[in-house]
């Protein structure tokens, strides 16, 4: 059972469209596929030539999903690929999704969430973005206020160095601060730069921010997570769905929106197109804003 779609000259057999993927809202697999079809033009620049890790939920979010890195042998030949060396040795073939047909095919495989590398396949060891993951220490209103406090401090640091930080609601609990960078430094240098930045902020605001990895040492402070800045690490792709009730979406924001923004799950597959109909993508100029990373953090 199912139907065949002709997308960008590729024939894709779509199956089980009525299967419920988000039980709370009744959103189906067909709704997920249609979402990725409609959002593809906006999302694709953020995955172009970038290895992706797939978070698959073949039976919807009521069942446990699984992460898939290796490209399946049965994927059609037109699904992009790249062979990458693994940090622990060996190599692996990962998916590259450069077109709408690829997104639709993968969504039909139960991929709900797309996670992208911080580098592109032509210079895999040289990231083109630097990222901080800010999750609240608690789910209270005060917890998200702490997230925004750290976000503003990171924004100010990078703006003072002539760089252009961007902010994104993760569609889960917090925010990502992402800085486009020119590909002049390898992952070790970028990670060290991010670590220096985090440490200096923690020293300047010891009551609000910490770099302690052990939760029992944070004492209610926000953990400034810089550790994604490493070879093989990924972050959720802008406009990806999240595998959470309500089908929330990871959504780029303007800094001007942040003062009144309080719910990272505010934008969902049901209302994101209303937003995009009124407001252009705040990250539209992301890649043109890349600057060379400074040799020291601050």
Residue 60 vs residues 86, 280, 282: alpha-carbon distances, Å: 30, 31, 30
Q: What pLDDT is stored for residue 87 in this prediction?
A: 86
Q: How confident is the model at residue 295 (pLDDT cuts 50, 70, 90)?
A: low
The pLDDT of residue 83 is above 50: yes
Average pLDDT, the chain: 95
β pairing state of 91-96 and 209-210? unpaired
CA 235/CA 115 separation, integer angstroms: 5
| pLDDT at 155 > cutoff 80 | yes
Per the structure, the count of domains in the chain is 1
Split at pLDDT 50, 70, 90, the class of 142 is: confident
Residue 209 lies in a domain: no
* Residue 152 belongs to some domain of the structure: no
Tens of pLDDT along 48-63?
999 999 999 999 999 9
181 in a structural domain: no
Q: Are strands 222-223 and 209-210 parallel, antiparallel or unpaired?
A: parallel
What does the pLDDT read at residue 151?
Answer: 98
Q: Is residue 223 part of a domain?
A: no
Please state, in angstroms and rounded to a whole number, the distance separating the CA atoms of residues 138 and 136.
5
Predicted local distance difference test score (pLDDT) of residue 298? 40
Q: H/E/C letters for each residue in the chain?
A: CCEEEEECCEEEEECCCCCEEECCCCEEHHHHHHHHHHHHHHHHHHCCCCCEEEEECCCCCCCCCEEECECCCCCCCCCEEEEEECCCCCEEEEEECCCHHHHHHHHHCCEEEEEEECCCHHHCCCCCEEEEEECCCCCCHHHHHHHHHHHHHHHHHHHHCCCCCEEEECCCCCEEEEEEECCCCCHHHHHHHHHHHHHHHHHHCCCCEECCCCHHHCCCCEECECCCCCCCCEEECCCCECCCCCCEECEEECHHHHHHCCCCCCCECCCHHHHHHHCCCCCCCCHHHCECCCCCCC
Separation between Cα atoms, residue 204 and residue 192, nearest integer Å: 18
Is residue 228, in this structure, part of any structural domain at all? no
**What is the distance between the alpha carbons of residues 34 and 272, in angstroms, rounded to a whole number?**
13
Query: CATH number of the domain that 10 lies in?
Result: 3.90.920.10
Which pLDDT belongs to residue 48?
Answer: 97
Contacting residues for 260 by C-beta, under 8 A, at least 6 apart:
none
Q: Is residue 214 assigned to a domain?
A: no
d(CA 19, CA 277): 29
* 7-21, 82-96, 238-252, 284-298: the lowest-pLDDT one: 284-298
The C-alpha atoms of residue 295 and residue 270 are separated, in whole angstroms, by 43
Per-residue confidence (pLDDT) for residue 215, from 0 to 100: 86
In a domain, 72, yes or no: yes
- Structural domain harbouring 109: 3-124+233-241
What is the percent of the chain where pLDDT is above 70?
98
């Amino acid at each position: 059972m199912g139907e065949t779609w002709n997308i960008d000259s590729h024939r894709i057999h779509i199956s089980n469209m009525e299967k419920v993927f988000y039980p709370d809202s009744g959103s189906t697999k067909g709704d997920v596929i249609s979402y990725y079809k409609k959002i593809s033009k906006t999302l694709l620049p953020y995955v172009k030539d970038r290895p992706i890790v797939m978070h698959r939920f073949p039976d919807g979010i009521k069942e446990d999903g699984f992460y898939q890195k290796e490209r399946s042998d049965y994927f059609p030949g037109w699904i992009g690929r790249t062979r990458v060396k693994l940090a622990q040795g060996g190599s692996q073939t990962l998916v590259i999704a450069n077109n709408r047909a690829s997104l639709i095919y993968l969504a039909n495989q139960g991929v709900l969430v797309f996670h992208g590398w911080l580098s592109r396949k032509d210079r895999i060891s040289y990231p083109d973005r630097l990222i901080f993951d800010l999750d609240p220490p608690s789910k209270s209103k005060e917890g998200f206020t702490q997230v925004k406090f750290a976000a503003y401090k990171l924004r100010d640091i990078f703006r003072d160095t002539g760089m252009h930080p961007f902010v994104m609601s993760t569609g889960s609990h917090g925010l990502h601060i992402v800085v486009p960078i020119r590909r002049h430094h390898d992952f070790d240098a970028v990670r060290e730069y991010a670590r220096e930045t985090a440490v200096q902020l923690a020293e300047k605001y010891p009551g609000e921010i910490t770099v302690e990895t052990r939760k029992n040492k944070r004492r209610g402070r926000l953990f400034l997570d810089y550790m994604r800045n490493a070879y093989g690490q990924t972050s959720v792709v802008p406009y990806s769905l999240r595998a959470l009730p309500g089908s929330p979406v990871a959504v780029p924001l303007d800094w001007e929106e942040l003062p009144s923004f309080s719910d990272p799950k505010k934008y969902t597959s049901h209302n994101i197109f209303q937003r995009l109909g009124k407001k252009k993508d705040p990250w539209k100029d992301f890649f043109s804003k890349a600057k060379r990373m400074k040799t020291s953090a601050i």
